[in-house]
Structure 1
């Protein structure tokens, strides 16, 4: 609906990671520099961490779009709670190695042979493991062992680990991961966007789908959006999508902080997420969001009353109740 209203060719703030919409924020620019340095070394581990929705997957997608895929074989895994043997088999499958009925020793041999073949063809191999915080120590150790494969002093496999902040803590503090820590050649934690980056971020994504300048976002709207999203791109995308829908319904050409406040109420934003900076004190956004908890509680009470009436009606097969019955009393 809002795409037609504003003449857009697509959805600028979709939640599905898409490298086409990659935005070179300060923290993402640093991450790309570390990734570039790490890949140039051609060995060891590169570790990128960040909160949920920080843009890790989009970052890697952008990286893949900028490298020469003819010279680099990329295997991507999204890990779950898998043990060492499972991560080995997943890696082998990603390399096109059959795993059914194979003992671990045979599988390791097949994987090493495949990596050697890639090297002889002038191709390097990169393994990207997402959600690395889910991996037990045994699986991480298996990955470390895979990184030992070499030919003529050159590493056959380089590994990128993507994870949430708890993975960074685990990697730093777990004594069982000392050998893996020594193999990490580059690491970066994706921080939230800065307040001044929100406006350019919105414009960048809108421009990618044919934005003609309408709607515009005021400075106070950008400040409010940063406050509510805390600078997390995925949360910001969710808010921005709802704002465009609200703008289309209300026929807005300018989106300001009042519009953000209305959308925040509609989305059920908790007042604790509206910890505004000092220069927002007294802003209508804060008053509206602060009142939200009471509004939600009132709606909850009404909903429970309606559900009670429906349950009573079902129990009575929809028959009318005599005066003074509990159900009729509930209607008064």
Structure 2
């Protein structure tokens, strides 16, 4: 809608994992290097983890564009399947014929035959599973067994697991140690820093043929605050902000536009003026001191009153004793 208004060749903040928009931060460059190394000739397991929306799938699709022509690739995006269903998905991706009703064992035998044939033709077979934290322990064990087929030089199946941080917790289990020992490359993709958020926004605008400054510094700071540096959330905010500027026939995204966009996107998120941390700490400390002072005074007063009562009782007792002595 706002593409022509800003003179863009395409919409720059789509949440689709388009490799042409991949911003190569140090984190993403390192993740890319790990994946390229992992899908090399040595085979084995490659694990890439990160929070939702940090760009794992985009990085992986970028790797796919750099693979040689002799790579056979199966990309599984729905891992919540039984082992038989997962094998059917792999067969469909690799164009391996199968018939309905085949047992898992029969399919695994056929897959092994396919892998041997591909290797004989000088081809590598790569299996990529997205959202791998949803794989059951049993399926992970079956995947490990699939990588048992090997020659003297290499594994015949290379496996790439993309997942959220929970995947690392699963792989750290004691009953997963055999699989964990086969991981040849592992990387965790963290969110962008504040400086990287500014570069990320400018990079995507530049790819879309926009070289003007659309986002003010205050707007970028707020986008970083609301998104936490997660690229997918940055895209959602920026897209809504540019739509808001277009709707108001304006030119620049400022802090107020970002606040409004954040309210629309994160309806459960209440935007409040945040106190600076030093002021917040000082205020909390003052409250604690006042509370301790109040408690001390109350205890001191109670103790004083108690002592006074004891003194009066002692004095009265002494008077009674004198009277009785007379």
Q: Residue 35 and residue 278 in structure 1: after superposition, are their counterparts in 2 closer, same or farther (change >3 A)?
A: farther
Q: Which residue of 1 aligns with 2:321?
A: none
Quote the offset at 1:10 in angstroms: 1.1
Q: After superposition, give the CA deviation of every residue in 1:184-222 in whole Å (9 maximum; x if it has no partner).
A: 111111101111011111111111112141x52122211
Under a length normalisation based on structure 2, what TM-score does the superposition of the two structures give? 0.79
Aligned partner of 1:71 in structure 2 is 70
Any conservation in 2 of the 1:85–1:139 contact (CA below 8 Å)?
no
Listed as ranges, the gaps of 5+ residues in structure 1 are: 282-332
Offset, 1:251: 2.4
C-alpha distance in 1, partners of 2:253/2:267?
18
**Cα separation, 2, equivalents of 1:192 and 1:182:** 27
Counterpart residue number, 1:35: 35
Match in the other structure for 1:147? 147
Question: CA separation in 2, counterparts of 1:203 and 1:229?
Answer: 16
1:1-332 mapped onto 2 (5 Å cutoff): 1-40=1-40, 42-68=42-68, 70-100=69-99, 101-172=101-172, 174-213=173-212, 215-271=213-269, 278=276
SS at match of 2:257: helix
Q: Tell me the distance in 1 between the aligned counterparts of 2:33 and 2:271.
A: 32
Structure 2 partner of 1:306: none
What are the Cα deviations for residues 261-298 of structure 1, in whole angstroms up to 9, with x where unaligned? 2322333444467796949x9xxxxxxxxxxxxxxxxx
Secondary structure of the corresponding residue to residue 9 of structure 1: coil
Structure whose CA Rg is larger: 2
Alignment check: 8 A CA contact 1:228 1:274 kept: no
Q: Distance in 2 between matches of 1:126 and 1:187?
A: 16
Q: 2:259 touches 2:271 (CA, 8 Å); kept in 1?
A: no
Which of 48-57 and 260-269 deviates more? 260-269
Give TM-score scaled by structure 1 length.
Answer: 0.78
Structure 2's unaligned 5+ residue stretches are 280-326
The residue number in structure 2 matching 1:309 is none
RMSD: 2.1
Instruction: Give secondary structure in 2 for the equivalent of 1:151.
Output: coil
Corresponding residue for residue 292 of structure 2: none
Is 1:84–1:140's contact at 8 Å kept on the other side of the alignment? no
- SS of corresponding position for 2:184: strand
Q: Is the 8 Å Cα contact of residues 26 and 193 (structure 1) preserved in structure 2?
A: no
- Distance in 2, matches of 1:144 and 1:226, equals 40
